[in-house]
Amino acid sequence: MLRLLPALALLLLQTPAHAQQADQVATGEITGADHETYKQIPFDVPEGTERITVRLTYDKANKTVVDLGVFDPQRFRGWSGGTRDRFTLSASDASPGYLPGALPAGRWHVQFGVPNARKDAHSPYRVEIFLDRGTVRNASAAIADAPINAAPGWFRGDLHMHDAHSDGSCKSKTGKKIPCPLFRTVDAAANAGLDFVAVTDHNTVSHFGGLRELQPYFDNILLIPGTEVTTFGGHANAIGLTRWVDFRIGTPGVPNVAAVEKAVAEAGAILSINHPGLPSGEACMGCGWVWPDTDWNGITAIEAINANTVNTPLSGIGFWYKQLNAGHRLTGVGGSDNHNPDAEAGRAGIGRPTTVVHAEALSTPAILAGIRAGRVFVDVEGTRTRVLDVEAVSGRTRALMGETLAPGAKLDVTATIAGVDAGKAVLIANGTEAQSLPLAPAVTFHLDRKAACGWIAVNVTTQDGKLLLVGNPIYVRCGR
């Protein structure tokens, strides 16, 4: 009985947190002999390992305490004492207390310290090692946060911003212009009332560890790791990235854009072309998107609205519509491209514009899936209240934004609009304004099939045509 009780306690500890399959497991017992000693638990890291997550459970009855750390085959890689029961390390990021960097293959050791074990202690422990390697993502799953909101809904976010890890700046305590700490940028996003942000520093992943550290504090806003892949022929945000992606197009490892697209997809991210309406060449080096060999199947989204470019000739909407007219399926999104969290309202402050995504939950996988699915609109002024949802109906078939409708002779397109006081709803068919109607909570356009073939969308504008809400397309399939 004396031996059974701790075992039962351990069993209780193990559910349900241990649903994830471990790659390696070590079990044992802390006894009185371990009191004030260090103990090493070996584990093996195979070649090609990208992430390691370690989880410890042990019987804490009778004041047994186990401190936790880790050594790679050559050196110290981190220590969390008694404060954590799990940690993760990869080349780009690690749990606070741990050191990111290369994960050499070979024999690693989980390092225990035992500050206390009573003479008669028999405390079972279990160390689980989870690895990301190839397409297996056990380590990422074992350290994944629960969704910030598990219910489906509209979530408002900013997909584009910079901080000290690239060219973001703000004022220091004494008023000097300094590289702006990541905390300030994230804090400004939280204060702006956003549900999610993607922090997208140029070509680097050095902010990923910071985001991992900040997320538990910012438990009301989802922090999505991203990189602005910044090339000589254009910029594109890799959103939801798990590792660095080589941006050096034209070097042997990265012959073309397709290679970047493949690497981004393999790293679990989506690619969104940024500010395609900006000029290229000496006017704005690498700003517009000019790569000739873009495989549009590898692109998920277009930043139709970058900062304050909407309603100007620099808007990306024309570029986006052109790709839609060419038959590509691309979700239109917005990004503030914020480089200073103290920017005044109206000057590309964080959350202006806001991308509003209908997602199954507020988590990185769900937001990425929502952007892919395309039930998304852009709130140009970054309000927290405006909503635009669009549904097309023909007979018994119906489709929401991002979906496909194969209509009969006629179809109705209904936009549900909230939060806009005055203006009009504009129906776009294949990139041009087809109809407009006065604003109402629900506005319905009636169309002939011929006018709708290709794609349709609804935007909300002011009375004089300035965009307020930009809807995403419903694809209309006609013929075979």
Residues interacting with Zn ion, by CB under 5 A? 228, 235, 274, 337
Single-letter residue type at 460: V
How long is the chain?
Answer: 480
Q: In whole angstroms, give the CA distance from residue 254 to residue 468.
A: 39
Nearest approach in angstroms of CB 279 to Zn ion is 13
Contacts of 305 (CB under 8 A, 6+ apart): 315, 316, 317, 332, 333, 334, 335, 353, 378, 380, 467, 470
User: To the nearest whole angstrom, how small is the minimum distance from the Cβ of residue 203 to Zn ion?
Assistant: 11
The CB-of-227 to Zn ion minimum distance in angstroms stands at: 10
**What's the closest the beta carbon of residue 294 comes to Zn ion, in angstroms?**
16
Cβ nearer to Zn ion, comparing 134 with 318: 318
Q: Which is nearer to Zn ion, 132 or 337 (CB)?
A: 337
Cα–Cα distance, 156 to 334 (Å, whole number): 11
Q: Determine contact, residues 92/140, Cβ cutoff 8 Å.
A: no
Output 138 or 230, the one with its CB closest to Zn ion: 230
- Tell me how far, at minimum, the Cβ of 229 lies from Zn ion, in Å: 9
Q: Which is nearer to Zn ion, 132 or 228 (CB)?
A: 228
Contact predicate 3/90, CB 8 Å: no
**Minimum CB distance to Zn ion smaller for 51 or for 162:** 162
Cβ at position 213, least distance to Zn ion in Å? 23
Question: Residue 455's beta-bridge partner residues?
Answer: 475
Closer residue to Zn ion in complex, CB, 54/198? 198
List 392's β-bridge partners, or say none: 399, 413
Shortest spacing between CB 219 and Zn ion, in angstroms: 27
Q: Is the CB of residue 68 less than 8 Å from the CB of residue 26?
A: no
Q: Is residue 74 left, alpha or beta, with left meaning phi > 0 and alpha meaning psi from -120 to 50?
A: alpha
Q: Considering the complex, what minimum distance in angstroms separates the CB of residue 276 from Zn ion?
A: 10
- Of the pair 337, 391, the CB lying nearest Zn ion is at 337
Supply 52's token pair.
């390691």
Minimum CB separation of residue 133 from Zn ion in Å reads 32
Nearest-angstrom CA–CA distance, 205 and 432: 40
Task: Name the strand (E) or helix (H) holding 449.
Answer: helix 449-452
CA–CA separation, 22 and 28 (whole Å)? 16
Q: How far is the CB of 230 from Zn ion (least distance, A)?
A: 6
Shortest Cβ 367–Zn ion spacing (Å): 19
Between vectors from CA 424 to CA 419 and to CA 428, what angle results, nearest 5°? 110
Q: How far apart are CA 387 and CA 403, in angstroms?
A: 18
Please list the helix, strand and coil fractions of the chain in percent, rounded to the nearest 5, in that order.
15, 40, 40
Q: Between residues 274 and 364, which has the closer beta carbon with respect to Zn ion?
A: 274
Nearer to Zn ion, 57 or 306 (CB): 306
Q: Which is nearer to Zn ion, 140 or 274 (CB)?
A: 274
Contact 6, 59 (CB under 8 A): yes
209 within 8 A of 135, measured Cβ to Cβ = no
What gap in Å lies between CA 411 and CA 452, rounded to an integer? Answer: 8
- Written as one letter, the residue type at 78 is G
Residue with smaller CB distance to Zn ion, 199 or 427? 199
Which residue's CB is nearer to Zn ion, number 274 or number 309?
Answer: 274
Q: How far is the CB of 237 from Zn ion (least distance, A)?
A: 8
> What is the DSSP annotation of 222-261?
EEEEEEEEEETTEEEEEET--S-----BTBTTB-SHHHHH
Find where tokens 């300030």 sit. Answer: 184
Are the C-beta atoms of residues 309 and 316 closer than 8 Å to each other? yes
Residue closer to Zn ion, measured from CB, 100 or 277: 277
Q: How far apart are CA 292 and CA 315, in angstroms?
A: 21
Strand partners, 404: 475
The nearest distance, CB 202 to Zn ion, in angstroms, is 7
CA distance to 21, 227, 319, per residue, from 273 (Å)? 37, 12, 10
Ranked by CB distance to Zn ion, the top (closest) residue is: 235
